[in-house]
Structure 1
Amino acid sequence: MILVTGGLGFIGSHTVRALLDLGEGCVLVQRRTAEVPASLAGAQVVVEQADIADLTALLDVGARHKITGIVHLAGSMPWPPSPKQPVEAARKAVGSLFNIFEAARAWGVSRVGVASSIGVYAGLTSEGPLREDMPLPMTSSHPIPAFKKIGELLSDHLAGATGIDVVSYRISGIWGPGDPHGALLFAAPALVHAAVRGTEPDLSLLLAPAYAEDSIDLCYVYDCGRAIALLQLADQLNHRTYNVASGRATSNAEVIAAIKKVVPDTRIVLPARGTGQQSYLDITRIQQDTGYQPAYDIERATADYIAWLRAGNER
């Protein structure tokens, strides 16, 4: 069975669904008590209560289940960070990663996947594809990409030291059913929600104003979950780092155009004062090594998301 940390979260739940569709059972580790969700009732899924920061509790999970692989999607850094205990928070984040590798060694796991982020590319100014072999800036303006870089470096070191097959997922801008963030990092989810509700989009959480030309590599969460599952189950991987993305830049203007095909009377408008810079994650590696192809372009993704919200789902 594949152990998935953060398996009841946004990306985690869709990854679990994809693993199940590919014939794998899953053990979901949650810090708080949780039951198997109704959407997975009857599936080969077990939810175990354990804090991955507690090595003994984590190892006990492997005593109850035959764990053959690990997909580590739980957050590496508490957010928002505690201003009173920054050292302890950092120690816990890094210690949890060490515990994952200790468990992998104890259980004889052959492959560990670790979530990274599109944020590691922040600071690169080139347009066009962002490739996994590009040199990354050593600094980060935000704790999350900082700890993702730390996680990648530690994972690469431990892969060499332990012989465990390790893969880091550089995950792009993920959106779709179950998105808990709204317009936290990019505008698209809020634009869709506003169209369904017939309201103005709430973009107050964005770090900067949203413009029509602003773009990001938007990857629908179904594609993201399937990509991670394919990386976990591939017979052989030729790299330790893979972009998990759509492989194209999608602008807010394109999102609005796709929304208007489903909700023609929406009045969502964004000002046209953005830079128009088009950068996106190159997905050649994952395509070559797993056969992954995104199934949801912006129009299909938008229509599906709107239908899911109109069916009465909250997020």
Structure 2
Amino acid sequence: MTILVTGAAGFIGAHVCRALLDRGDAVVGLDNYNDYYDPQIKRDRIKALCPDADIRVLDLVDRDGLAALFDEVKPDRVVHLAAQAGVRYSLTHPHAYVDSNLVGFVNLLELCRHRGVQHLAYASSSSVYGDSATPPFSEDQRIDQPRSLYAATKAANELMAHTYAHLYRLHSTGLRFFTVYGPWGRPDMAPLLFSRAVLAGRPIEVFNHGRMRRDFTFIADIVAGVLGALDHPPEGGISPESAPHRVFNLGNHTPVELERFIAVIEQAAGRPAQKVYKPMQPGDMVETMADTARARAAFGFEPATPIESGLPQVVAWCRDYFGDRA
């Protein structure tokens, strides 16, 4: 099996590449190494996690380059994790989201369609639930009131994938990730931001005065979910109602109070956090919680890592990787 992984130098992408290689798949990755955060972290991540992976430097908006890669590699399946991430960044850099998450996604859909890809598994986000859903979020709830442009692009991806499944029988699966964390994580997200700040004795900004709950999901559980979904392509008949497209929540199903989250970091770091309480940020959600029954039934998804064992690994990695730069 030849698997193409987009966003291969990203947090989830590099861990997925490692898992695919370990089980014997042929893996080709692509990443544009953009500067949304320090590209050196991405290079170091690849060097540490999957130095044996074939990673190409390529942007999804490069249609000709992407087509040439598909023609060369001839992937059987695609794991699409490349995207412009971040809720708050979308407030100031909207065109980056349109280019990567919309234009890039159409380019990928077209190539999967025309090159006979068996299954496309792509990253969506818990952000799609917005204001219209209530916890626990289930895949059957509405997603038509997003709180950010980032969330809107991810909801659009799901609609676009369904359309290609309906029109062209492109088998595809959307994966709604819930606040993924772990070693080699994204430095713009709370687990690393807070861990580094506490280790260095810097203050942390606690939004909505700490009254937030997140369904933090450890990277190993997410990788298991990605591979489980990839290995179980959706079936579909000839009717529009049976288009071969499905969407799954991949979360821990255990929302954690932000103050509890910080307390676990404090304990792992061996020092107290200096908290600066702030109002709610535009685009953020007060609570996320995944209903994972559908993924459990489809491919046995069972997240098994609580923050009490996952966060100390993040703190230890930050101490080791950043050192005095924490």
TM (normalized to structure 1)? 0.82
For residue 226 of structure 1, what is the aligned residue in structure 2?
Answer: 224
User: Which residue does the alignment assign to 2:158?
Assistant: 152
2:291 matched to which residue of 1? 282
| Equivalence for 2:308 | 299
- 8 Å CA contact retained: 1:247, 1:282: yes
Corresponding residue to 2:117 among 109, 112, 121? 109
Counterpart of 2:149 (choices 143, 158, 173) is 143
Alpha carbons of structure 1 residues 92 and 116: separation in structure 2 relative to 1, 3 Å = closer
Q: Share of identical aligned residues, percent? A: 23
Worse overlay, 74-83 or 227-236: 74-83
Residue 198 of structure 1 pairs with residue 201 of structure 2: yes
Residue 124 of structure 1 corresponds to which residue in structure 2?
132
Query: Is 1:248–2:257 an aligned residue pair?
Result: no
**Paired residue type of 1:171:** F
264, 267, 275: which one aligns with 1:258:
264
Taking only aligned residues, the RMSD between alpha carbons, in angstroms, comes to: 3.4
Partner of 1:133: 140
Shift, 1:241, TM fit:
0.2
Rounded to whole Å, the distance in 2 between the matches of 1:125 and 1:95 is 27
SS of the aligned residue for 1:281 comes to: coil
- SS at 1:37 equivalent: helix
Question: Tell me, what secondary structure is at the counterpart of 2:186?
Answer: coil
Structure with bigger helix share is 2
Does residue 167 of structure 1 match 2:173? yes
Match runs of 1:303-314 below 5 Å: 303-313=312-322
Amino acid at match of 1:102: E
- What residue identity is the alignment partner of 1:162? Y
Contact 2:161 2:245 in 1 (8 A): no
Question: Does residue 76 of structure 2 align to residue 73 of structure 1?
Answer: no
Deviation (angstroms), 1:118: 0.9
In 2, are the aligned partners of 1:115 and 1:168 still within 8 Å (CA)? yes
Deviation for aligned residue 1:133? 0.6
- The match for 2:283 is none
Deviations 1:273-308 (A, max 9, x none): 99xx76401111111212222132110011111121
Report if the CA contact (8 A) 1:16-1:225 is conserved: no
Q: Measured at CA, do residues 272 and 141 of structure 1 come closer, stay the same or move farther in structure 2, by a change above 3 Å?
A: closer
Name the TM-score, length of structure 2 as normaliser. Answer: 0.80
Asked if the contact 1:77/1:143 (under 8 Å) is kept, the reply is no
Q: Work out whether residues 173 and 245 of structure 2, in 8 Å CA contact, stay in contact via their aligned partners in 1.
A: yes
Distance 1:273 1:8 in 2: 33
- Runs (5+) with no aligned partner, structure 2: 35-41, 236-243, 281-285
Residues 133 and 143 in structure 2, CA contact (< 8 A), matched pair in contact too = no
SS at match of 1:170: strand
The one-letter amino acid paired with 1:120 is V
